[in-house]
Structure 1
Amino acid sequence: MAKTAPKSSSKKKESKEGFSKYIKWFWILFFGGILSVALLFLFTAWFSDLPDETQMENPETNLATEIIDSKGETLGKFYKENRTPVKYDSLPDHLVNALIAVEDERYYDHSGIDGRGTARAITYLGTKGGASTITQQLAKQFFTDQVSSSKFQRALQKVKEWVIAVRLERQYTKEEIITMYFNKYDFLNQAIGIRSASRIYFSKEPMELNTVESAMLAGMFKNSSLYNPLKRPELVKQRRNVVLAQMAKNGFITEEVKNELQAEDLNIEYSPEGHDEGVATYFRAYLQEFLKEWIKENKKTDGSTYNIYRDGLKIYTSIDSDMQRHAEDAVKEHMSHIQKEFTRQNKKNKTAPFRDIDVDETEDIIQRAMKVSDRWKKMTAEGKSEKDIRASFKKKTDMRVFGWDGDIDTTMTPRDSIIYYKSFLRSGMMSMKPQTGEVKAWVGGINYKHFKYDAVKKQKRQIGSTFKPFVYATAIDQLHLSPCDKVPNTQYTIEAGKHGNTKDWTPKNSDGSYGGLVTLKDALAGSINTVTARLLDRVGPKPVIDLIDKLGVDTRKIPEVPSIALGTPDLSIFEMVSAYSAFVNEGVYVKPVIVTRIEDKNGTVLYQHIPETKDVLSKEAAYVTVNLMEGVTQAGSGRRLRGTWATSRQDYKNAVTGYPYDFKNPIAGKTGTTQNNSDGWFMGMVPDLVTGVWVGGEDRATHFSSTRYGQGATMALPIWGIYMKYLYADENIEVSDGNFPKPENISTILDCEEFEENNTNNGDEDVPEELDF
C-alpha cells in the first residue's frame, strides 16, 4: 500500500507556492512600474515636438509680400519663400480632383489615416504603394522633420504623422486641409504653393488652369525634385499621364478625354518670379528700399517689426503693368538699335568705349570700377591682399554676360568684362499722371540682372536744355510774358559780379547762328541759349531755383549762378517728371505716389496714401509754358514726332536719323543734350501723362562723337515715341490725345501768326514790342 504525505507537509508546500506567486507578481509590478515610467518619459521626449493647439490653429508659414499694380495684377514679390496663399474657392475642381485621384483616393472617407491603405502597405511592405494620406503629408510638411537615419526613427516619425493627422482632421474641414497642402508644397524653381506654381509654370492664376495643366502640377506632389518640368520634361509628362489615368479610374474624366489629354505636350510657359526677373524690376528694387524705411516707423500692434519677406503683406502700387510692359519694350527696342550704331562707331575709337580722355584717365575709370566691384569686396572680406586682388582681374574666367538676345556664355578677364559693360549705353524712363501723381511706369535701366543701378531715382545727371522751361515759366509768371513777345537773338553777356558770377558769362548758341528777333515760342523751340540767358538775367537765378524747389526738386546742391539756365544742374528723372507735371496740371504740383495702400495678410489696412499738393504757378502761366513747349514738337527739335524729320523706317533701324511717328495730337515737350553729348533727354507731355527719358553712358566719357547721334532728339525722344505708339494702340489703356486744358478768360496772346496778320496795318502800338532786356 502506497504511503501518503501527511496533511501538515502538504499545507506547508501550498503555502510556500502561494508566497512565491505573490513575490513574482510583486517584482512584475515593480519592474513594470519602473518600465512604464521610463517609457512615459521616453514617449514624452519622443513626442515633445508635437504641436499644441495654438500651433495647430496657426501653422507657421513664410508668406511672400505681394506687389500689386493699379489693376490688381501681381507685379512681383518679396520673399524668403515665394508663397502666396489662396483660398479653396480659388482652386478649380479638376485641380483638386487630380490631387485626390493620384495621392489619396479615399480622402473624403477617412479621418486622417487610411486604414485600408495602411494594411496594404504593411502586408506588401510598401511594394504596392504607400499609405500616406494627404492629411499625413500635410502633417509631415508642417510639423515633423525629414528623418532618414534609421528605420526606427522613420517609424517613429510615421507615428507622429498619424497623431498630427488625426488632430488636423478634428481641427479643420477637408477643404481647409487640402487648401493648406496646396499652399504649402514646394514645386521648385521659386514656386512655393499652388499660386506661385501656376504663375511660374503656366503664367496663369490657379483658377485659370486647365485639366492637363492641373494634372502636371498634381503629379509633382510625389517628388518635385524628380519631376522638375524644366529639367526632366519627358519624365514629368509620363507622371502627368499617370495622374490623368487615375482621374479616369476615379470617374473624374472619361477614358476618351484621358486619351486626348495624354497626347498633349506640357506647354510650359515659364515665367520666373525671381528678384532679377519679371516686370518692373527696377521699380520693385526701389519699392523694397521704400518698405524697409516704412517698417522702421510702423510697428505691429505688439511692438514687433514687420518682415517684408515673411509676413504676407500686400503692397498696392500706382504702376500700370500694361503701361510698364510697353515702357520696357520701348526702351529695349530703341536701345538695342542705337547700341549697334554706337558699337559700330567705336570700332575705330582707340579709347573705346570712352572719348575725349587720355590713357591715364581711362585707367582711372577702370580702377575705380574694380574697387567697387563685387569681386573686390568679396576678396577683401576673405583677407586677400590688394596685389592678389588686382592679379585676379587679369585672369580669364568663364562667365555669362549681357546680350540683347539673351545672356552670352564667354571667357574673358574680369577687367575686360568691366570695359565690356561700360560700352553699353544706359537708359531710364518714368511716366506719371500729372493730376494724381500716380507713377504708371518706371524703367531704371536696360537690364536689371546685369545693370542694377537705377537711373530713375538714384541717378542724377546734367539735364541740359530740359531745364529751360523752368526759366521761361519763371519769367512768364513774374513778367507776364507772351509766347509772341520778341527777343534779340544776339550774343549776350552777364557780367562778373552779377547773380553770383565770378567772371563774365557769354553763352553761345549750339548752332552758332545769331541775329534778328525771335518770339519766345520760336526761341524755346530752337533751344536758343542767348534768349534763355536774357530771361534768366531779367528774373535772376534765385526765383528759378525757388520755383523748382516748390516743384519737388532737391535744390541744396544747385548754385545760384546764371549758368544753370542752360541745364548744368544734375537732376533725376524722378524729379524732372514730377516737376514738369505741374505745367500740365494747371500749375499745381502733386507729389509722386508709388504706394497707394498696404495691407497685412488678413486684409487689414496698414497704410493709405493721402495726396500732397501745392499751388506753384498760376493756371495761365502754366498753360503758356505748355504752349511754348508745344512749339518744340511743332517746329523745334521734337518735330520728328510729327513725321517731318526722318526719311524712312529703315533709317530708324539703322539708328541714322529717327522714326516718322506721325503723331497728330497735341504734344508738349523738350529735348536736352549736355556737353560732349554725354546725356540725351526728352520730356514729353500729353494732357494726362508726363514721361521723362534719359539716355547716356555710365561714365560721361562714354558718348557719341557727334551731336547728330548724341542729341536728346536722337538718343531719348524715340523711346517716348515708341512708348506712346504702344499706348495709343492698346485698347486696355486710356491716354488722352486731346488738347491741353485751357484756363478761362486767358489774357495772354498765344497765336503769334494770327495776331501779327490781324495787326499788320493797325499801328505798331498793338504789336508786341521787342522786350527791353
Structure 2
Amino acid sequence: MARTSKKSKKPARNYGKYIRGFWTLFGIGILAIVFIFLLAGWGVFGKMPTFEELENPETNLATEIFSSDGKTLGKYYSENRTPVKYEDLPDHLVQALVATEDERFYQHAGIDAKGTLRAAVFLGTRGGASTITQQLAKQLFTENVSSSIFERIFQKIKEWVIATRLERQYTKEEIITMYFNKYDFVYQAVGIRSASRIYFDKEAKDLNIQESAVLVGMLKNAALYNPVRRPDLVQGRRNQVFEQMNRNGFISETEMDSLKQLPMKIDFTPEGHDEGMATYFRAYLQGFMKEWIRENPKPDGTEYSLYRDGLKIYTSIDSKMQNYAEDAVKKHIENLQKEFDRQNKSNPTAPFRDVDNSEIASIVESAMKRSDRWRVLEQQGKSVEEIKKSFTEKTEMRVFSWNGTIDTVMTPRDSILYYKGFLQAGMMSMVPQTGEVKAWVGGTNFKHFKYDHVKQGKRQVGSTFKPFVYATAIDQLKFSPCDTLPRARFTMEAGKHGNQEDWSPKNAGDDGYEGMISLKNALAQSVNTVTARLIDKTGPEPVIDLVEKLGVDTRNIPAVPSIALGTPDISLFEMLSAFSTFANQGVYVKPVIVNRIEDKNGTVLYQHVPETRDVLSKEAAYVTVNLLEGVTQSGSGVRLRGTYAKDRIDYKRAVTGYPYDFDRSIPIAGKTGTTQNQSDGWFIGMVPDLATGVWVGAEDRSVHFPNITYGQGATMALPIWGMYMKDVYNDKDLKVSKEPFERPENLSIEVNCDEYKVNGDTNNSVPDELDF
C-alpha cells in the first residue's frame, strides 16, 4: 500500500485589521472634509457672509429716471443694474437657464453631487459642476482668485458653503431672480433688465424665446458670446440652448428645429451716460439730485448714493414730447449747418466773422485753457510752452460730424477750430399752469458737446425781451394793443434813466420811421423806436423788477434803457418760465423737473410742492398774450401760418419743415429775437397749455451768418418750434389745446383792433426787413 503525503494547512488570513483601517481612514477623510467645511464656514479661508448679509445681499442698484408717461429715460450707476421680480421673468427664460446651466436645480440643495462627481472623474471635460446657486454665491460673496490650484479649491469650498446657506435662506425662485439681477452681460448691462433693454430695447417680461436663449447663452462667457461683436458665434450658442431646452422637455424637437432656423436679431441700444434720450436733461438732473442728497440724509444720518441705492426719480419730462423735440433740433440744425458751411466757403476767417487774426488767436487760446488736455498736462507739471506745443502735434482722434463720428488725424488746435464752426441749439417746453418741463434739449450731441444751452448758457436775448417792456407799460399805464405811437426816430438824452450818453435806437434796415403804428403791430414788427418810447415812459427799473419776479436772475442786468432792445444775457430756462407767466394769467410757477423720488422699496422720499407767486394781473397778462398773438398773425412769426413775404428766399435750402400751415384758428402767441451781428436767434411760442422756447447760435458770438436773411430768429430758431409743435399736435395722445387763451372777465383794456387805421396806424403790413 502506497503512502500518501498530506499537504500542510495554511492559517487563514486576518482581514479584520484592513477593514478596520479602511473605515478608520474613511472616517478620518469624512471628518477632515467636515472639518474643512467648518473652517470655511468659520471664515478661516476668507471672510464669509453673515446671516444679515445673506438676508440682504449687497448689490449696487442703479438709480432709474422715469418720464411722466412711465418710460425709462436713463440711469445713474456704478453698475447698470435695475432689479426685476420673478413674475417679470418669462417662463421660457427661466426654462432656458435651468436647462443650460443646472438641469437638476430643483432637486439639489445648492450642490449637485452627481455633477460634481462627473466633473471630478472627467476633469471637467463633460461639463462643469457649478450649480446656479454656486454661481450666485460666487457673484455675491466671493472674489476671483489666482490660478493657484489650492486657492481654487478653497474658493470652491467657500462657494459650496455659501450655496447651501443661500438654499436655506431663499426659495428657488428667489435664487433665480437674484442670479438674473446680478449677472454682468457687458456693455454696462448688469442684470437681465438692463440686458433686455440694451440688446433688444424691451423689458425682460417682453422677451421672446429666441431673445431669452441669446441672453442665457451669454451666461457661459458674456465677453466671448457677445452678440454685437460675434453674432455668428452667439447664434450657434443660442442654438445649443435650444437643444438643452429640448433635452429637458421644455420644447419639442419640431419647435427646436424651427427656432434654430430663425435669424438672430439684435436691437442694440446702449445705456451709457452719453447715449439715449434726454442726455442734457439727465446731466442737469444729476446736479439737482446731488444737491437734494446733501440736504436730505437717510434716517441713520448717512447719505443716499445716487449710483448704488436704486433710487427712482419720476420726472416731468414726457418721452414723446422729448423725442419730438430732439428730432426737430437734429433735423433743422443739420440742415441749417449745410447752409452755414456753404456761406463760409468764401470766408477767409472761417468760421469766425468780424474779427482779426489776433482776436482769433485769443479765442483759440482761451478754448485751449478750458480743455481737459490743458488741465491734465498742467497737473502733470508741464510748462505753458510745453502744453501749447502739444496742441500743435497731430494725433489720432474721433470727431463729430452730421454724417457720423469720423476717425481722423489732426492737431488739437485744429480740432478746436473745427468744433467752433458748428451751430448749436437749446430747446425747452413746459406747461405754464403747472411748471412741468416736458422737453429739454441742451444741444445737438451730448457726447461731443457737453455744454447745456437750456440752463447753463446765457446769451443775449434780442427782441424776445421786448414783451417785458410792453407788459410793464400795460400793467402800469394801462396801454392797449390798439394804442398808437410814432415810428419816428427817438433820442433819449444823456442823464435820463441812468443813460450816460444820448441813446438813439434804429429800426431794422434803418427805415420805416414814417407815421403812427399800433402797439400790436409795433411788437409784431419789432419796431425799436416804439419799444424805446415805452421804456422811456416806464423807466428801466420797473421792467427789471418785473423780470425778476418772473424768475430771471437780474443781478447782471443794468438799469439802463437799452435793455429794452434785448441787451441782457439770459438763459433759455429763465426766458421760457418768464413767458409762461403770461399764458398762466399772470401767475409765475417755478419750473419743475422732478415730481417724486422713491427709494428702492417704493417709499416716497420727496414729493414736489409747486412754488407760485402772483406777478401780473389777469388783465395785463392777457393783453400781453394778445400782443404776442399779433407776432404770428402779421409779424415775424407769420410763416408759422404758411405765408411769408420774402418769396425770393430758397427755404428748402435753410429752413426745415416749411411751410408749417398752422391753422389761423389755433392761438399762437410768440416772439422772435435776433441779436447783434446775427449771433443769436430766438423764438419763444405759446399755446394755452404749452410754452416752448428755442435758441440757436454758435459757441462763440463771432461765429454767425453774414446777414439777417439766414441769421434771424425766424430762420434760425422758429422752424424748430414749428416742426416740434406739428408733431405734438398730430399726436392725439398728448391732447395739447387748440382753444383760445382764457379771457378774463370784465376786461377793461381794448384788444379788438380791427380798425387799426381808424386809430392812426398807417402801416400794418409785413415789411421786407424786420428786426426779428
TM score, norm. by length of structure 1: 0.92
Aligned counterparts of 1:44 and 1:479: Cα–Cα separation in 2: 85
Query: Which stretches in structure 2 are left out of the alignment for 5+ residues?
Result: 1-30, 761-772
Aligned counterparts of 1:286 and 1:458: Cα–Cα separation in 2: 9
Aligned counterparts of 2:351 and 2:135: Cα–Cα separation in 1: 58
Mapping for residues 752-771 of structure 1, pairs under 5 Å = 752-753=753-754
Mapping for residues 508-587 of structure 1, pairs under 5 Å = 508-512=506-510, 513-587=512-586
In the superposition, relative to structure 1, how do residues 650 and 272 fare at CA in structure 2: closer, same or farther (>3 Å)?
A: farther
In the superposition, relative to structure 1, how do residues 464 and 38 fare at CA in structure 2: closer, same or farther (>3 Å)?
A: closer
Deviates more, 1:373-382 or 1:249-258: 249-258
Deviations 1:379-403 (A, max 9, x none): 1111222222111111111111001
In the superposition, relative to structure 1, how do residues 232 and 497 fare at CA in structure 2: closer, same or farther (>3 Å)?
A: same
Aligned to 1:728: 729
Decide whether the 8 Å contact of 2:332 with 2:719 is kept in 1: yes
Aligned counterparts of 2:657 and 2:214: Cα–Cα separation in 1: 48
Aligned counterparts of 2:715 and 2:121: Cα–Cα separation in 1: 78
Mapping for residues 141-152 of structure 1, pairs under 5 Å = 141-152=139-150
In the superposition, relative to structure 1, how do residues 204 and 607 fare at CA in structure 2: closer, same or farther (>3 Å)?
A: same
Aligned to 1:361: 359
Aligned to 1:222: 220
Aligned counterparts of 1:502 and 1:666: Cα–Cα separation in 2: 42
Aligned counterparts of 2:394 and 2:39: Cα–Cα separation in 1: 62
Aligned to 2:113: 115
Mapping for residues 17-56 of structure 1, pairs under 5 Å = 44=42, 46-56=44-54
Aligned to 1:375: 373
Aligned counterparts of 2:39 and 2:538: Cα–Cα separation in 1: 89
In the superposition, relative to structure 1, how do residues 35 and 119 fare at CA in structure 2: closer, same or farther (>3 Å)?
A: closer
Deviations 1:491-522 (A, max 9, x none): 11111111111111111101222010100000
Aligned counterparts of 2:582 and 2:539: Cα–Cα separation in 1: 21
Q: CA deviation at 1:744?
A: 1.8
Mapping for residues 343-492 of structure 1, pairs under 5 Å = 343-492=341-490
SS in 2 for 1:231: coil
Which of 241, 244, 250 does residue 248 from structure 2 map onto?
Answer: 250
In the superposition, relative to structure 1, how do residues 617 and 386 fare at CA in structure 2: closer, same or farther (>3 Å)?
A: same
Aligned counterparts of 1:658 and 1:140: Cα–Cα separation in 2: 57
Decide whether the 8 Å contact of 2:548 with 2:554 is kept in 1: yes
Deviations 1:242-295 (A, max 9, x none): 111111222222222222221222211111110111000000000111111111
SS in 2 for 1:70: coil
Aligned counterparts of 1:606 and 1:622: Cα–Cα separation in 2: 36
Decide whether the 8 Å contact of 2:39 with 2:45 is kept in 1: no
Q: CA deviation at 1:690?
A: 0.5
Deviates more, 1:656-665 or 1:84-93: 656-665
Which structure 1 residue ranges, 4+ long, deviate > 3 Å from structure 2? 33-48, 646-653, 754-757
Aligned counterparts of 1:609 and 1:711: Cα–Cα separation in 2: 38
In the superposition, relative to structure 1, how do residues 264 and 537 fare at CA in structure 2: closer, same or farther (>3 Å)?
A: same
In the superposition, relative to structure 1, how do residues 45 and 601 fare at CA in structure 2: closer, same or farther (>3 Å)?
A: closer
Q: CA deviation at 1:647?
A: 8.3
Decide whether the 8 Å contact of 1:648 with 1:660 is kept in 2: no
Code of the residue aligned with 2:541 in structure 1: it is K
Aligned to 2:770: none
Aligned to 1:27: none
Decide whether the 8 Å contact of 1:646 with 1:657 is kept in 2: no
Whether 2:635 is the aligned partner of 1:636: answer yes
Aligned to 2:4: none
Which of 294, 298, 301 does residue 300 from structure 1 map onto?
Answer: 298
SS in 2 for 1:187: coil
Decide whether the 8 Å contact of 2:40 with 2:158 is kept in 1: no
Aligned counterparts of 2:175 and 2:472: Cα–Cα separation in 1: 66
SS in 1 for 2:106: helix
Which of 213, 236, 239 does residue 237 from structure 2 map onto?
Answer: 239
Aligned to 2:208: 210
Which of 279, 282, 307 does residue 281 from structure 1 map onto?
Answer: 279
Aligned counterparts of 1:94 and 1:237: Cα–Cα separation in 2: 17
Q: CA deviation at 1:92?
A: 1.0
Which of 102, 111, 114 does residue 100 from structure 2 map onto?
Answer: 102
Aligned to 2:668: 667
Aligned to 2:626: 627
Decide whether the 8 Å contact of 2:85 with 2:177 is kept in 1: yes
Q: CA deviation at 1:652?
A: 3.4
In the superposition, relative to structure 1, how do residues 657 and 142 fare at CA in structure 2: closer, same or farther (>3 Å)?
A: closer
Aligned counterparts of 2:351 and 2:122: Cα–Cα separation in 1: 71
Q: CA deviation at 1:653?
A: 3.5
Decide whether the 8 Å contact of 1:646 with 1:659 is kept in 2: no
Q: CA deviation at 1:656?
A: 6.4
Q: CA deviation at 1:658?
A: 7.5
Mapping for residues 681-700 of structure 1, pairs under 5 Å = 681-700=682-701
Aligned counterparts of 1:650 and 1:487: Cα–Cα separation in 2: 32
Identity among equivalent pairs (%): 68
Aligned counterparts of 2:32 and 2:197: Cα–Cα separation in 1: 58
SS in 1 for 2:685: strand
Deviates more, 1:464-473 or 1:388-397: 388-397
Code of the residue aligned with 2:189 in structure 1: it is A
SS in 2 for 1:469: helix
Code of the residue aligned with 2:730 in structure 1: it is A
Q: CA deviation at 1:748?
A: 1.9
Deviations 1:79-129 (A, max 9, x none): 000001111111111111111111111111111111221122122221111
Decide whether the 8 Å contact of 2:40 with 2:46 is kept in 1: no
Mapping for residues 145-224 of structure 1, pairs under 5 Å = 145-224=143-222
Aligned to 1:605: 604
In the superposition, relative to structure 1, how do residues 51 and 650 fare at CA in structure 2: closer, same or farther (>3 Å)?
A: farther
Q: CA deviation at 1:35?
A: 14
In the superposition, relative to structure 1, how do residues 47 and 528 fare at CA in structure 2: closer, same or farther (>3 Å)?
A: same
Decide whether the 8 Å contact of 1:673 with 1:679 is kept in 2: yes
Decide whether the 8 Å contact of 1:483 with 1:752 is kept in 2: yes
Decide whether the 8 Å contact of 1:63 with 1:79 is kept in 2: yes
SS in 1 for 2:693: strand
In the superposition, relative to structure 1, how do residues 250 and 65 fare at CA in structure 2: closer, same or farther (>3 Å)?
A: same
Code of the residue aligned with 1:264 in structure 2: it is L
In the superposition, relative to structure 1, how do residues 755 and 746 fare at CA in structure 2: closer, same or farther (>3 Å)?
A: farther
TM score, norm. by length of structure 2: 0.92
Deviations 1:522-570 (A, max 9, x none): 0000000000011111011111111111110011111110000000010
Deviates more, 1:187-196 or 1:153-162: 153-162
Query: Which stretches in structure 1 are left out of the alignment for 5+ residues?
Result: 1-32, 761-773
Decide whether the 8 Å contact of 1:652 with 1:658 is kept in 2: no
Mapping for residues 1-16 of structure 1, pairs under 5 Å = none
Decide whether the 8 Å contact of 1:649 with 1:659 is kept in 2: no
Deviations 1:53-75 (A, max 9, x none): 01101111111111111011110
Decide whether the 8 Å contact of 1:640 with 1:658 is kept in 2: no
Deviations 1:111-153 (A, max 9, x none): 1111221122122221111111111110011111112321222
